[in-house]
Structure 1
Amino acid sequence: MSLLIGYGRVSTIGQDLAQQRVLLTEAGCTRIFEEKASGAKRDRPELARMIDHLRPGDTVLVTRLDRLARSTIDLLNTAERLREAGAGLKSLAEPWADTTTPAGKMVMTVFAGIADFERSLILDRTSAGRAAAKARGVRFGPPPSLTLEQIAHARQLIGEESKPVSTVARLLGVHRSTLYRALQD
């Protein structure tokens, strides 16, 4: 027996889930998972509990898609998780977002294609930007922990004065492994 499962979310503790609860109950949800958490948070325990609770044939109902996901990518990822659980997705405010129908599946497929295209464009722009920055001499990553002078001094202390690496690392304020890496370069 397939069930209609509701998911309601508000962003802050001060907001109230009552309106979503009423709409989801009136729509026939037999169980409603509720959450007071920002949609930007990756860790949403009630969403995870709901997905774990789903059985093949169930349908997740939300009042609006922005209650389920914060972005198109997040929506598509969540919709995929629901599909993997064998469940569908419906939105009361966006009737086109109904993966239980062929038209709704098509719309989600088109969104997935657009999101994938957008990801590809972002990767291409990022790669081009990084390459241009490297060509201008920009260094990526954190700044080096040790200056060239400090490395030369460390070599002298270790090689000529036979100081232990751990003592020199402590003197320079870095971990032994950092000093070993700097000495290898």
Structure 2
Amino acid sequence: MTDEYLRVEAYDCPAPTCAAPAGSPCRTASGWVAVQYHAARCQLVPSSSQVTSVPMPHVRRPGTFWTWLPCAAAVGAEPVAHVRIGYARAETIHHSFDAQHDSLTAAGVTRIFLEDPSTRAADRPELENAVAVAHEIRASGCAVTLVMDEHKRLGQSIVLARLAEELRTGGIGLQFLSGSLQGIHDPGGVVFTVLAALSDMQREYNRNRVLERLESRRQRGEAVGMRVTDDNMLAAALHLREEKLSLRKIAARLVISKGAKAGQHPSPATVLRMLRKHDESTIAVKSMAACKRESEPCISE
């Protein structure tokens, strides 16, 4: 469930090495935000009595230094207030924030996050900050709405889909002051549902494209994945093969010299592919040389 972590945080953590108060994430003995909530705390939630592991949401920033957070309101309780957070982004350095800032201010938004137009298209640091603040305020019991001038300010539609999915997880509303999506959209509304589905479709599309490229490379006989062999490894493997060693023993004596697996031994399957490729290449070269020798008398005649 998307709000499962809020149910867990409604209780103090009974783990002696944590003892995080209600409203705050669990922490490690070293003082960092844990990657998941302690089982003893999860079991305090009636609906999660059989659940021993609840992952730490991204908004709690697992792995960072732990700090105390305000106690979250009880799940299902009426919001104590309504906070609206604004976000504006200029598409280029030649565009101004003035029009967006004015429209947000006129709509009653007082806290506005401005995205530097020089930021790379794939990065939205101020948007991430706005969402993080919205999650923190929402956890304190206030209703929160993220307000923008127009959905086109986000650029790519997939960015909007991912944003909607993250806001829906935290129960945060989304409002556009103009454009085709103008209006206030509830986290459980149809707009969020459609955008979340679009996000899932985009992830599935990207995954299928990667698998198709890998399969195409396999069919062409190309190596798939990180290359761990080199000429020095091949020379050593050929020498060891001449000594009648098995593939397993050959692999145990070879060492990868570069890349993420530097210092490790290649697998016997990797050694087999390397030697097979060398043998096939050698046979092809010898065949071409033999054909050339056979054709020379014909040419001289």
Question: Is the alpha carbon distance of 1:80 and 1:179 closer, same or farther for their aligned partners in structure 2, counting shifts above 3 Å?
Answer: closer
Q: Deviation of residue 92 (structure 1)?
A: 1.7
SS of 2:191's partner is: helix
Residue 177 of structure 2 is aligned to residue 92 of structure 1? yes
Question: Is the alpha carbon distance of 1:99 and 1:28 closer, same or farther for their aligned partners in structure 2, counting shifts above 3 Å?
Answer: closer
Q: Name the structure with the higher helix share.
A: 1
Query: Contact 1:62–1:92 at 8 Å: present in 2 too?
Result: yes
Give the letter aligned to residue 107 of structure 1: V
SS of 1:47's partner is: helix
Measured in 2, the distance between the counterparts of 1:38 and 1:10 equals 12
SS of 2:105's partner is: helix
Question: Is the alpha carbon distance of 1:115 and 1:87 closer, same or farther for their aligned partners in structure 2, counting shifts above 3 Å?
Answer: closer
Residue 147 of structure 2 is aligned to residue 65 of structure 1? no
Residue 230 of structure 2 is aligned to residue 146 of structure 1? yes
Q: What are the Cα deviations for residues 42-94 of structure 1, in whole angstroms up to 9, with x where unaligned?
A: 5x1x2233223223412111112132x33232212212222333321111223
Counterpart pick for 2:167 among 82, 89, 106: 82
Residue 113 of structure 2 is aligned to residue 28 of structure 1? no
SS of 2:128's partner is: helix
Measured in 2, the distance between the counterparts of 1:66 and 1:97 equals 11
Q: What are the Cα deviations for residues 114-140 of structure 1, in whole angstroms up to 9, with x where unaligned?
A: 442343344334424422331221212
Query: Contact 1:82–1:88 at 8 Å: present in 2 too?
Result: yes
Give the letter aligned to residue 159 of structure 2: D
Question: Matches of residues 155-170 of structure 1 in structure 2 within 5 Å?
Answer: none
Scaled by the length of structure 1, the TM-score of the pair is 0.68
Question: Is the alpha carbon distance of 1:33 and 1:151 closer, same or farther for their aligned partners in structure 2, counting shifts above 3 Å?
Answer: same
Measured in 1, the distance between the counterparts of 2:267 and 2:226 equals 18
Larger Rg: 2
Measured in 1, the distance between the counterparts of 2:113 and 2:190 equals 27
CA RMSD of aligned residues (A): 3.5
Q: Deviation of residue 146 (structure 1)?
A: 1.4
Measured in 2, the distance between the counterparts of 1:137 and 1:127 equals 15
Scaled by the length of structure 2, the TM-score of the pair is 0.45
Measured in 1, the distance between the counterparts of 2:195 and 2:105 equals 29
SS of 1:96's partner is: coil
Measured in 2, the distance between the counterparts of 1:63 and 1:119 equals 27
Q: Which residue of 1 aligns with 2:123?
A: 41
Give the letter aligned to residue 79 of structure 1: A
Measured in 1, the distance between the counterparts of 2:105 and 2:152 equals 19
Q: Which residue of 1 aligns with 2:97?
A: 17
Measured in 1, the distance between the counterparts of 2:182 and 2:241 equals 65
Query: Contact 2:146–2:174 at 8 Å: present in 1 too?
Result: yes
Q: Which residue of 2 aligns with 1:131?
A: 215
Give the letter aligned to residue 128 of structure 2: A
Query: Contact 2:185–2:192 at 8 Å: present in 1 too?
Result: no
SS of 1:141's partner is: coil
Give the letter aligned to residue 181 of structure 2: W
SS of 1:28's partner is: coil
Higher relative contact order, structure no. (Cα contacts within 8 Å, ≥ 6 residues apart):
1
Equivalent residue pairs, number: 167
Q: Deviation of residue 4 (structure 1)?
A: 2.3
